[in-house]
Every structure is written in structure tokens, then in C-alpha cells.
Amino acid sequence: MPKIVDHDARRAELAAAVWRLASRQGLDAVTMRAVAAEAGWSTGALAHYFADKEELLVFAFETVADRVGRRIVEAAGHARDPLEILRTQLVEGLPIDVERRAEVRVWFAFLGLAETRPRLAQAGRNAYRLWRDRIAKTLAAGQRQGLVDDAIDPEREAAALIALVDGLAIQATFEPRALTAERQVELLDERLARLTLASAR
Amino acid sequence: MPKIVDHDARRAELAAAVWRLASRQGLDAVTMRAVAAEAGWSTGALAHYFADKEELLVFAFETVADRVGRRIVEAAGHARDPLEILRTQLVEGLPIDVERRAEVRVWFAFLGLAETRPRLAQAGRNAYRLWRDRIAKTLAAGQRQGLVDDAIDPEREAAALIALVDGLAIQATFEPRALTAERQVELLDERLARLTLASAR
């Protein structure tokens, strides 16, 4: 392999192949052989990037986390009001369209696999910590601007809000008819309304 | 095979073997061959019960759902107050001890597998519907006794409460230190307190 290979470009290529496989056929389908075939590489070339299946799965997980993370940062960039940013940081985790539904399915599939794979569990831990930190910071900003009840503990509240989003995502995945995109967002909005309501009590 | 075989007893034996495998090694380990070995059966005898891997997975899922369901019914049987019953119906879904942690891990692993397996997805749908119906009924009973705010829509609220529990379960699985058993129950209790607080507003 020549030294001028653009490793970032190649990793992006691989990430796209992994995502296509996972979203189409589930994580079962993410094997060294299948990813190599999907990317049009040899398995030998792939082995250059990933020592084993677990490394490949960690990469796949980070690919999904990056997709969601990038969208959050982008959407939040358009907003100024902390409550609006907060809403964006949470809505992006809900399976409200085809793309997000695929992400959510794949995301939770990792949880099951992480059970027996420490590095994957670590990647999951990092992703949740990052999400929680971002939301806690937005809540604190909301408090400084008098938009969020001072009695709320930002970190605790962040955990509860993420829990609601993850939980809605699971039910919506199993029962898309009972929990439509509209209903998911309504339930989140009801919850968010309480952040300010509490101070009005 | 003699006709006097007790099929219920044999299925219970299999359920125990499936649970041991899944809780110890994850759903990856639940294969026809491994389950047969764990139960001390031949794969031929197992094939008598399950036509394929998907049927085996549906059985494994129902085994976990039954464990949780039975515990809920049992615990709720000791309580009289609808709010106490409601709390039980939700706490049993939280990973607050070793046994429940294993159940939660396995439960979410099914979500990923259900992605590409319609019968497993159906079993998941049924389990959530049952859980939601039970909770909605308890909320309605609470309303009849004046313990739960009348403005609350029981089915909607049930979906939101289950979402919180599932979401707490996920974060606790990835970050057991950030979301201890105590913190999980506290966050649930704070949420439950609002069911009555709303009417006091």
C-alpha cells in the first residue's frame, strides 16, 4: 500500500459501507467478509484497519454516533434559545423518519452486542456521557437565562430526558403505530414544558 | 419419543437452558447447537421443538418476558394502592440488581435482532402492548380512587412511563456508575410524584 493513501477518506468509505450493511440487514450482517465485499475491498485490506470483529463493531458504532452527533451540532447551530437547542439535542435521537429509524434500530442492537464486548461497551459509555454532558450544559445555560427552573439539577435532568428519548425510541421501534413520530415529539414536548412550568408553580 | 412426555416440563427445562446461555454469554450464544448442549439434549430433539433459529429466539424472548411479567403480577398482588402497584409494574423493568441487569441486557439485545426477524418483532410488540395496557389500567384505577390527576390520559401516560423505565435501563446498562440502582428509582419516583402533583397544582 503506497504511503500517500488517504486514511481518513478510506475510513469514511468503510463507514459508509458499514452503515449500508447495518441499516439494510442489521448488525448480524456486519462481518469482516461482508464489509469488505460491500466496500469492494479484499478482506486482507480490511484486516489492515480492523484487527477483529469487535474493532469493526466499535467502528460501526462510532459511525452511527457520529451521524447523530453531527446532526445535533448542526441543528443546534441554527438555534439561539437554550430550550430550542435542548429540544434539538433530544429530537435527533427519536426515530421520527426512515433514516432515524434505521439509526435507532442499529444503536440498540449495539447494546445487546456490548454485553460481551468490553471495547464496544466503552464506546457506548462514552457516547452517552457526551450526550448527557451536552444536555446538562444546555440546561445550565437555560438556568442562567432564567428559562429553566433553578431547582433542577442539570445532570440528573439530562439523564431523565435522555431516558425518555431512548425509551420512546424503543417503543416506537416495536410499535410504530402506537407511537407515531407526532406522538413521540408531543410526549417529549410535554416533558420539556415542565422544565419551565416547575418554576411557575 | 413416548407420548407421555411432559411438553410443558421440557419447555421449562429449555427455557432455563436458554436463559443461562443468554444471561452468561449474550444472545450471540443462543444457537440451536449451544442450547441443545446446555440442556443436555441432542440437536435433533431440539429441532422437534424449534423449526429454526428465529423460533428459538422468540422462545428465548418470551422466556425473559415471562420472568418479568410473573414478577410484576406477584409483586402487584401484595399491593392494594394503585400507585403502589404502578410503581411495582415499573420498578421491575429497571436493572437494579444482578438478575434484572442480565434481563435488561438480553431484552435490548432482542431489539437489535428483531430488526430482521418479523416473528421476534411481533413478540416484542405484544410484550410492550401488554405492559402498556397493564399500566394504563392501573392509572385508570388510580383516577377512579382520586389518586391520579384526571387530566392524565392513561394510555399516553403509560407510554411515557415505560419510555422512562426503558431509557433509564439503557443508560444504567452502559453507565452503571452514573445511574446507580438508587438513582434510577429516585428518578422514577420523581416522575410518579408528578402524577398526583399535577392535580394539586
Residues of B in contact with A156 (CB under 8 A): 183, 187
Extract the C-alpha cell encoding B163: 419510555
Extract the C-alpha cell encoding B175: 453507565
- Our CA-based measurement puts residue B182 at a distance from the nearest CA of chain A, in whole angstroms, of 13
Q: Can you say how many angstroms the Cα of residue A8 is from the centroid of all Cα atoms in its chain?
A: 21
Residues of B in contact with A170 (CB under 8 A): 108, 111, 163, 166-167, 170
Q: Which residues of chain A have pLDDT under 70?
A: 1-5, 197-201
- Per-residue pLDDT, A201: 45
Asked if the Cβ–Cβ distance from A112 to B116 is below 8 Å, we say: no
Show the DSSP H helices in B26-117 as ranges.
Answer: 32-39, 43-47, 53-77, 82-91, 98-114
Measure CB to CB from residue B171 to each of A27, A162, A191 and give the nearest one.
Answer: A162
Measure CB to CB from residue A201 to each of B112, B114, B201 and give the nearest one.
Answer: B201
**Per-residue pLDDT tens digits for A108-162:** 878 777 877 889 889 989 999 999 999 999 999 999 999 999 999 999 999 999 9
Distance separating alpha carbons of residues A132 and A101, to the nearest angstrom: 21
Question: How many CB atoms are located within 10 Å of the residue B151 CB?
Answer: 9
Which distant-in-sequence residues (6+ apart) come within 8 Å of A102 by Cβ?
A23
Place of cell 467478509: A33
Distance separating alpha carbons of residues B103 and B88, to the nearest angstrom: 16
Q: Is B71 exposed, middle or buried (0-12, 13-18, 19+ CB in 10 A)?
A: middle
- A-chain residue closest to B177, CA distance: A125
- pTM higher than the cut 0.90: no
Residue A108 has φ and ψ, to the nearest 5°, of: -75, -30
How many interchain CB pairs under 8 A, A with B? Answer: 150
- Per-residue pLDDT, B201: 45
Measure CB to CB from residue A166 to each of B166, B178, B201 and give the nearest one.
Answer: B166
Extract the C-alpha cell encoding A188: 417529549
**Which residue, among B23, B58, B113, B170, would best test binding to A if mutated, counting the most A CBs under 10 Å from its CB?**
B170
CA distances to A70, A77, A92, A167, B180 from A74, rounded to whole Å, are 6, 5, 11, 24, 33
Residue A152 has φ and ψ, to the nearest 5°, of: -80, 135
Asked if the Cβ–Cβ distance from A116 to B26 is below 8 Å, we say: yes
CA angle centred on B16, ends B14 and B21, rounded to 5°: 95
- Percent of chain A at pLDDT above 70? 95
Nearest Cα to Cα of residue B106 among B73, B68, B139: B68
Measure CB to CB from residue A164 to each of B116, B167, B190 and give the nearest one.
Answer: B167
Nearest Cα to Cα of residue B114 among B68, B67, B57: B57
Extract the C-alpha cell encoding B140: 385508570
Contact A52, A120 (CB under 8 A): no
- B-chain residue closest to A166, CA distance: B167
DSSP secondary structure code for residue B1 in this structure:
-
Measure CB to CB from residue A167 to each of B109, B165, B183 and give the nearest one.
Answer: B165
Instruction: Give me the half-sphere count of Cα atoms (radius 13 Å) on the Cβ side of residue B139.
Output: 26
Task: Please list the rounded mean pLDDT of every run of 10 residues in chain B (201 residues).
Answer: 70 88 85 93 91 87 88 82 93 91 84 81 90 94 94 93 92 86 94 75 45
Which residues on chain B place their C-beta less than 8 Å from a C-beta of chain A?
25-28, 105-106, 108-116, 121, 124-125, 127-129, 132, 156, 159-160, 162-168, 170-171, 173-175, 178-179, 183, 187, 190-191, 194, 201
Distance separating alpha carbons of residues A143 and A125, to the nearest angstrom: 27
Asked if the Cβ–Cβ distance from B173 to A111 is below 8 Å, we say: yes
Place of cell 391520579: B148
Q: Is A51 exposed, middle or buried (0-12, 13-18, 19+ CB in 10 A)?
A: exposed
- Per-residue pLDDT, B114: 80
Extract the C-alpha cell encoding B167: 431509557
Extract the C-alpha cell encoding B182: 438508587
Asked if the Cβ–Cβ distance from A115 to B129 is below 8 Å, we say: no
